[in-house]
Structures are given as C-alpha cells and as structure tokens.
Chain A
Amino acid sequence: MEFNELALKLSQYETEGSSFESFFINHVGQEVLQVIVDGNDELPIFVTHTDEQVLCICYLFSEEEINADKHAELNDTLLRLNVPMPLSAFAKIDNKYAVFGALSTNSTIEQLSHEIITLAANSIDALEAISDYLTE
C-alpha cells in the first residue's frame, strides 16, 4: 500500500456518508497518514504500517487528564468496553490512551475507509462514555 497515493485517494473518497481529509507525515522514516473524518480535527486518525499490517490509531486523552482517584476504575471500564467496541480496541502508547484497529496490508481502500470511519465513531463514543473519569 503506497501511502502517498493512499492520502490522495482518501481525500477524494466519500463513503458511508463521511468525508476525509488526509495529510502525509513522514519525519522519521516512518510513514504516517493523518486522517480527519467529517471535519473532526480534534480526534485525528493516524494510519501507519509495518510489513504485514496497517495500524489505525486515534489518541483519546493523556494520563494526566484522568481524575486521580478514578484511574483504576477507568482502566477496568476500558477493559470491559474493549470487546463490545466494533473493530477497535483500547490501547496505551507512552502516556496517552488510544483506540486502534489493525488491518492486513492487502486490504482494499473500501476496507480501510470502513475501518477509519468506525474508529472515528468509536473514539467519539468512547470519549463520551468515559468523560466522567476525566478532568476539565
């Protein structure tokens, strides 16, 4: 999957009633695509790849934003929400909580855009569901 080409394709692609904006980031030799779904630039989806999988990641919040006394409870809730959440899973990268999904590198643009749309919707739903655990 050529990421340069993918960025272009995605920005011209409209599906499931959603539109994409995508930007190609490549600072450190790792190709990353920043994808914004329906203008929600607060929760961008980052797409990157390894030899065998394409990873779509959406950062939700940093550890510092969690109400200190609710940290353990939040982790427990996230683990419980993990299975019901379609196609995506919760994760932690450095000090940031995230939702992510992984696809085969042989996936089509339809499959990838479905993944991205689902991930974008999941991340908004997830933030809403756990927003009581977060500080302002």
Chain B
Amino acid sequence: MSILKKLFTAVKGGVTEVGESIVDANAILIFEQEIRDAQEALAVAKRSLTEVMAKEMQTTRSIKALDSEIEKHEGYAGQALEKGEEPLALEIAGKIAEFEQQKSQQQEVLATFTASVTKLKQQVKRAEKTIVENQRQLSMVKTTESVQKATMAVNDNMASGDSAMASAKQSLERIKQRQIDKQDHLDAAQQLADESNDKSLHDKMRAVGIGDEAAKGADILARIKAKQSK
C-alpha cells in the first residue's frame, strides 16, 4: 500500500487524535535503512556494470583482431596454393582453424558479457527507481510527522494566548478594523501634509500681496479713500 493511501486510511480512521501519531517512528527508521541499502546496492551494481562493460569491449576487440588474422592467413593460403605449395597451404589452413576455434570461444564469452550488461543495467534502473520512490514516500511521511509536531507546538502556544478564544469572524473583523485604522492614519497624515503645503503657498502669496487677506486690506484702504474724496 502506498504511503498516501495509508495516510488517507489513518486520517479517515480518526487516528489524528491529539498526541497520537499516524507515523510510527520505527517505520521511518526502517524506511531510511531501506533507502540506504538500495543506495549501496546501486553503487555495487554500477561498479560491476563498468567492469563488465570494459571486459565486453576487450572481448570485442580481440574478436576483431582474430577476424583480421583469419583474413590475412586466408590470403597466405591462397598464395601458397598459387605457388603449388599444397602442404604449406594445409598448414596455414590448420592455423586458420585454430583462430576460428579461438574466435568462437571469444564469441561465447562476449555473449555472456552482453547478457550481464543488460541485466546490470536493468538492476541499476530498478534500484534508482526504488530509491526515488522511497525518498518521495519518506518525504510524505516526514512532512506528516513535522506538521503533526508543529501543530502540537502551535496548539500549546495558542492555548496560552487569547487568539484561541476568538472565532474566525471576530478575527477578520478585528483585522479589517486595523486596516481601516491604518488607512485613516495614512489619510490624516496626507491631509496634514496637504494643509501645510497650502499654508506655505498662502504665506508666499500674502508676501507678494495676492490672495484673500491682502485683498481685504487693499479693499479697506480703497473704501476709506473713497469716503475722503466725497
């Protein structure tokens, strides 16, 4: 059964009561040991694979060498026949037979090497797959364990604070209120800044006689002058 299925069954079965662990600590240790074993097996398989592949190449080379020997000696035998040296040709043919004997032996050896290369490659692939799969499952188990432990720590912590008492709706209202307060603060600060900008502008205007108050003074003076001239 996959770990996820096991977890699902455990959660469904209500094993998640406080303090009770879904994950057996022993199971984790066994899992980790399995991964380490698989990694060792993988290392061994890879080492053997390189050795066998090297031998496979050597054998292929020696078969090629024998092939060229055979070809060469067939040429020699032909030359001997042309020169009417029948016994010499026979002797050369004997040599060729010897080479062919060696070649067929080497070919048998090569076949076993090729077979074990295929087998080892399959083993390496299988071990790699097992390791990746086990690591993935272990990570699920460990995450579950961590979340469980973290939840316990968080519960301890929340029980001592007042946030445990508040419902989600109350919490949300408080947060919203805080956000509004913050916005009000920002707005107020902005307003203040705007006002002081306004004030400095008015100061400048007054200094050169533009704006309300300056106009008022001028108006009054004009009014008095108008009265006097009557």
Q: Which A residues are within 8 Å of any B CB, using their own CB?
A: 25-30, 32, 34, 38-44, 46, 48-53, 55, 57, 59-61, 65, 93-94, 124, 127-128, 131, 134-136
Report whether B139 and A55 are in contact in the complex, using a CB–CB cutoff of 8 Å.
no
Report whether B146 and A49 are in contact in the complex, using a CB–CB cutoff of 8 Å.
yes
Q: Which B residues are within 8 Å of any A CB, using their own CB?
A: 16, 18, 139, 142-143, 146-147, 149-154, 156-157, 163, 166-172, 174-176, 178, 182
Report whether A55 and B167 are in contact in the complex, using a CB–CB cutoff of 8 Å.
no
Query: Assuming A48-B147, A55-B143, A124-B175, is B168 touching A28 (CB within 8 A)?
Result: no
Report whether A30 and B168 are in contact in the complex, using a CB–CB cutoff of 8 Å.
no
* A residues near B182, Cβ cutoff 8 Å: 38
Report whether B139 and A50 are in contact in the complex, using a CB–CB cutoff of 8 Å.
yes
- Known contacts A34-B157, A42-B174, then 10 further A-B pairs from the complex at CB < 8 Å, ordered by chain A residue: A34-B154, A38-B182, A44-B163, A48-B147, A50-B142, A51-B142, A52-B139, A65-B168, A93-B147, A127-B171
Cα of A25 to Cα of B150 in the assembled complex, Å: 9
Q: Chain A CB within 10 Å — which of B147, B150, B154, B178 has the most?
A: B150
Report whether A127 and B147 are in contact in the complex, using a CB–CB cutoff of 8 Å.
no
Q: Which of A29, A51, A135 contacts B149 (CB 8 A)?
A: A29
Cα of A113 to Cα of B170 in the assembled complex, Å: 26
Report whether B16 and A65 are in contact in the complex, using a CB–CB cutoff of 8 Å.
no
**28 residue pairs from A and B, CB less than 8 Å apart:** A25-B154, A27-B153, A27-B156, A28-B149, A28-B153, A29-B149, A30-B149, A41-B163, A42-B163, A42-B171, A42-B172, A42-B174, A43-B175, A44-B163, A48-B150, A49-B146, A50-B139, A51-B139, A57-B150, A60-B168, A94-B18, A94-B151, A124-B172, A124-B175, A128-B172, A134-B167, A134-B169, A135-B169
Report whether A48 and B178 are in contact in the complex, using a CB–CB cutoff of 8 Å.
no
* A residues near B166, Cβ cutoff 8 Å: 42
Report whether A134 and B152 are in contact in the complex, using a CB–CB cutoff of 8 Å.
no
Report whether A40 and B178 are in contact in the complex, using a CB–CB cutoff of 8 Å.
yes
Closest to B175 in A: A40
Report whether A131 and B172 are in contact in the complex, using a CB–CB cutoff of 8 Å.
yes
Closest to A29 in B: B149
* A residues near B170, Cβ cutoff 8 Å: 42, 136
* B residues near A51, Cβ cutoff 8 Å: 139, 142
Closest to B146 in A: A50
- Taking the nearest CB of chain A, how far is it from the CB of B157, in angstroms? 5
Pairs A-B, 10 closest by C-beta atoms: A30-B149, A61-B168, A42-B171, A48-B150, A127-B172, A32-B153, A27-B153, A50-B146, A32-B150, A50-B142
* B residues near A30, Cβ cutoff 8 Å: 146, 149-150, 152-153
Closest to A42 in B: B171
Cα of A124 to Cα of B157 in the assembled complex, Å: 21
- Taking the nearest CB of chain B, how far is it from the CB of A65, in angstroms? 6
Cα of A85 to Cα of B182 in the assembled complex, Å: 25
* B residues near A27, Cβ cutoff 8 Å: 152-153, 156-157
Report whether A127 and B146 are in contact in the complex, using a CB–CB cutoff of 8 Å.
no
Closest to B163 in A: A42
* B residues near A134, Cβ cutoff 8 Å: 167-169
Closest to B155 in A: A94
Cα of A30 to Cα of B120 in the assembled complex, Å: 42
Closest to A100 in B: B147
Q: Which of B142, B153, B167 contacts A61 (CB 8 A)?
A: B167
Cα of A90 to Cα of B44 in the assembled complex, Å: 44
Query: Assuming A39-B178, A127-B168, A131-B169, is B163 touching A53 (CB within 8 A)?
Result: no
